[in-house]
Structure 1
Amino acid sequence: MSHQTGITASEDLRNFFATSKDGSIRLMKIGIDNEELVLLDKSEPRSSWEEDYDAQVLPHLDEKQPCYIFYRMDSTDNSDQYEWIYLSWSPDFASVKHKMLFAATRATLKREFGGGQVKWEIFGTVKEDLSLSGFRKHVEAHDAPAPLTFEEEELAMIKSTEVKADIGVDTKHQTLSGVAFPIEDDALHKIMELGQGEITYVQLSVDLENEKICLEAAEDLAVSALPSRVPADHARYHLFKFKHTHEGDYLQSIIFIYSMPGYKCSVKERMLYSSCKSPVIEMVEQLGLQVDRKLEIDSGEELSEAYLYDELHPKKNIAKQAFAKPKGPAGRGPKRMTKPRAENGE
């Protein structure tokens, strides 16, 4: 099993997982201590899961300390196992180091718990995100139809022809927004360096065989050199800090670029890059970086300075349309010529 940080569940936590899914536990709070995932607290059901929710979840959300919470619903799946909500708490006032550590360990904990029993997975930075109201909004947003890109339509078509398999603790997991592969530590560190202004460019790839996100390049790059970094035969994810001025303000905008050179890539490569895109963006944002624009391209030639600027600051058409004299009725025939009247009767 591949892990994102090397942090795994303690023996006590594994034993607790094995005995706590029979309905006797409503909530379990998990943290990281001495490079191990440990049980911090637990609570029993008092009423229905909806009535218990805010009273049990919200008091466990510390304003400066990230944590994970597994919250048991009253519903069961087809195998009569209880369904759980997996909450990831990363408050704005937590240290960058803690945010990075918890974000990189989230997928590992889900595997340790058993991803097949997780019905919903939610990430939050403020308590409203993880409240019962926030949970319901998350469900509504998930159920709402959305337009699909070509890659997403292709993925949906492929998935519709596949036979579903049981999910074990060692399998990569399908999230609500895509497939979340583990991200290598050096890639995480370079993303953090970009956020802190030490570099301006990070390139990531999907290791198709080992199913993980890898670092391909990281450097302080001028915008004029950006097109040359886009491969012509493989898909990639790019993070670029675009330094520019707009209306007198100096800005450093982070742009996420998904490059896919069409059918030069295999079906598997197109499918996995399309499916991993959203979880990668989510991971970047969990590390504290604000992605100001998301772009999809098929060639690096598109990435000019003017193109990036226009994508960040679209031009507003405020010019008023000039008055157009209406045309005369059709079928009037040729315009009649008149002879000018001579002066003095001549």
Structure 2
Amino acid sequence: MSHQTGIKANDALKKFFSKCKDGKIRLFKVAIEEEQLVLKDHHNEKHKWEKDYDKYVAALVEENQPCYILFRLDEKNSLGYEWLLISWCPDTSPIRQKMLYASTKATLKQEFGSSQIKDELHGTVLSDITLEGYKRHKKSVAAPAPLSMREEELQEIKKTEVNTDISISTKQQTLSGVEFPLTQTATQAIEDMIRGSYDYLQFRIDIPKETIHLVCAENISLQKLPSKIPSDAARYHLYKFKHTHEGDYNESMVFIYSMPGYNLTVKERMLYSSCKNPLTNSIANLGLDITKKIEIDSGSELTEQFLYEELHPTNSLHRPKFAKPKGPPGRGPKRMTKNQ
């Protein structure tokens, strides 16, 4: 899961943000230097946006150095001119630089004003961010997603099927499970987690009301996580597992489904099992990417080593040879006989 770096715009860039939206500035370049977002270059409007784009954008980028370019379009919305955010991250730049710029982009958008950024363009080679590259990007975004043969068949079925009434006991049944809606509090907690307010959420199913409720939202250490797993009730959990892998810092979102054996009713076990996949889909639709889904019986399983191995399983390259079974005991040495 991506995470923000804490890098902020310096005072000079913040002042530039406040005055660059008057319609005179056409584009400007931002880079990361000394753990700050800094203004590197800018150009005023000379012509229509397409001509200025072709003239200035390619000239601002460096071959091996990532940067951001904010380009002002000619269209306006209720807040003013609309802007295009170009993220230049060449393949030849170091991996740490790529990660740093990818993790800081959300902060740049927030400080500039996300509502005024109409579109985003990512480039790894120069042809990605040329005017033709931007036009290809817009055409690709506007095109409908390609459908597989199976999806086309389902689409035709939906067009011709006859709607029927469904009883209350089956109104939310689907082939992939039972979808119970999240309460407003639960939805808000997930959105807060996306913003970094929490690293642990717990949910339960209200069976009579057929809804999913928030139990708690906290910031806890990995050592306290096992104590949050009930031993007498099923629960869903979201935990941000912070760790390092191959020298890089990671924050992985883990979805945990805890079911304490068979001391619960059959109905409760079936509902929690059936609601699991629709719930994770709802969480993903809210914008929270789940890295790994885990099922456990008790909290004692949630150790650092267990979570690490679930996220980064070890691939064994050594395959033991097949051991030839021994013959029956007491057979004695082999004897060679000659044909008479």
TM-score (norm 1): 0.49
Q: What TM-score does the superposition give when structure 2 sets the normalisation length?
A: 0.50
